[in-house]
Amino acid sequence: MARAFQRLTALKVARLKAPGLYADGGGLYLQIKAAGARSWVFRYRTGGRKTPRDMGLGSLESVSLGEARAKAADKRNLILDGHDPIDTRKRDRLAAALDVSKAVTFKECAEAYIAAHREGWRNDKHAAQWTTTLEAYTFPKIGKLPVRDVDAGAVLKVLEQKCDDLEGKPTLWSGKTETASRVRGRIEAILDWAKVRQYRAGENPARWRGNLEHSLPKRAKMQKVKHHAALRYAETGAFMDDLRRQEGVAARALEFVILTATRTSETIGARWSEIDLDKGLWAIPADRIKAGKEHRVPLSAPALAIVKQQAKTKEVEFVFPGGKHGKALSTNALLALLKRMKRADLTAHGFRSTFRDWAAEQTNYARDVAEMALAHTIGDKVEAAYRRGDLFDKRQRMMEEWAKFCGTIAKSGNVVAINRKGP
């Protein structure tokens, strides 16, 4: 009579190569697939099932015949006790995962999220901003909380915390609405990441639409739009005349900001490797542009003259070096310059608005030409998909006219007209 159990031997198992199922008895099988992979399978029926269930017990390389028999015996005992082996294993794994998730804190998930996304962000400054806001406002409140336990109440605890540095100590949401909105979005992203990693389950309590919008006033009602202080374009010539009398790198940098209509960070971060003096071209790389796309800036004659003047004392990689060797000029240097000029009412960034107003009211250049000069992203996705060029030639002519305008001092409050019809 054939044995019901232990039909296989170690030698027979070693010799078996043909695809198929080879019974050892008691529901244990050696499974050999067409590709040659060999593994152990426990086949059983429970609860009146008509079709059997197959449960993997591991590969032959990692589980010996004796170990497979011991595992199969454990599964048979579960069945005798009224348990389904596969369902039991699923519950055990889920319980183990939940135990692990209890130990994973929100702070640990946040740090893992930042590490995973750091290389995909435009620059290190973006990662630093994430870390700074989370350390300042989030970790003190919910950093040690298991991420699985972060609920709407915990999120609101962050957003409604008192801000000691604001008069009257209003909440983060009411006193620093822009910052609070970014914090909320970052919490939402981290919790989504944690859910994918199976550290938590359920809906995201930091989601705004259909969730927090019912607990907090809208940003539009809390936040007053603050525009950068800008000079009226009619006063540009007089200001530039005063600016050109100022000495120092900061004065030349501010003059360059105005002539190129670029952002302060783009100018003070300008490197010699980005400048082509022969072509009068400044190519700002994508990682230094807000839109994330390389921006070619045509340099007008006055702007090019500034670069050539800076080249005479070129010592480091930056066109506008700061006080510390190897470092670029700081933004504070431009603010300090404006204060010395008794124009603390202005900001360097505000001159982009000055340029935009001049282009709209004093020229006939198309709106897109001015927008591209400012490196603004085209809002219409369809239009952006078809727009391949950067209108460089038209922008080059426009920036020469802007430079000429900047060198013209208004008389009796009226700007000297420029006889030019833009394309």
In tens, the pLDDT along 243-296 reads 999 999 999 999 999 999 999 989 999 999 999 999 999 999 988 887 778 899
- As beta bridge partners, residue 56 has 41
Largest CA distance in the chain: 119
Hey, what are 163's tokens? Answer: 């801000």
pTM, entire model: 0.52
Whether the CB-CB separation of 133 and 182 falls below 8 Å is answered with yes
- Which tokens go with 381? 């996705």
Residue 417 near residue 394 (C-beta atoms within 8 A) = no
Confidence of residue 391 (pLDDT cuts 50, 70, 90): confident
Confidence of residue 386 (pLDDT cuts 50, 70, 90): very low
Q: How far is CA 231 from CA 21, 48, 323, 331, 356, in A?
A: 84, 84, 28, 18, 11
Which residues does residue 281 pair with via DSSP β-bridges, in sequence order?
276, 298
Kindly tell me the burial class for residue 359, based on how many C-beta atoms sit within 10 Å of its own C-beta (0-12, 13-18, 19 or more). Answer: buried
The pLDDT score that the predictor gives to residue 98 is 64
Average pLDDT taken over every residue of the chain: 86
CA 301 to chain centroid, in Å, comes to 37
CA distance 72 to 193: 38
Contact yes or no for 155/187 (Cβ under 8 A): yes
Q: Mean pLDDT throughout 32-37?
A: 93
Beta sheet of 53-59, edge-to-edge order: 20-25, 28-32, 38-44, 53-59
Over pLDDT 90: what percentage of the chain?
Answer: 60
Instruction: Please report which confidence band the pLDDT of residue 167 belongs to, taking 50, 70 and 90 as the band edges.
Output: low
Instruction: Please give the domain boundaries of the chain with CATH numbers for all domains.
Output: 10-102 (3.30.160.390), 107-222 (1.10.150.130), 233-406 (1.10.443.10)
Collapsing DSSP to helix, strand or coil, 403 comes out as helix
Residue 342 has pLDDT above 90, yes or no: yes
pLDDT, average across residues 78-91: 91
Q: Residue range 143-159: average pLDDT?
A: 94
**Considering only CA atoms, which of 39, 8, 13 is closest in space to residue 25?**
8
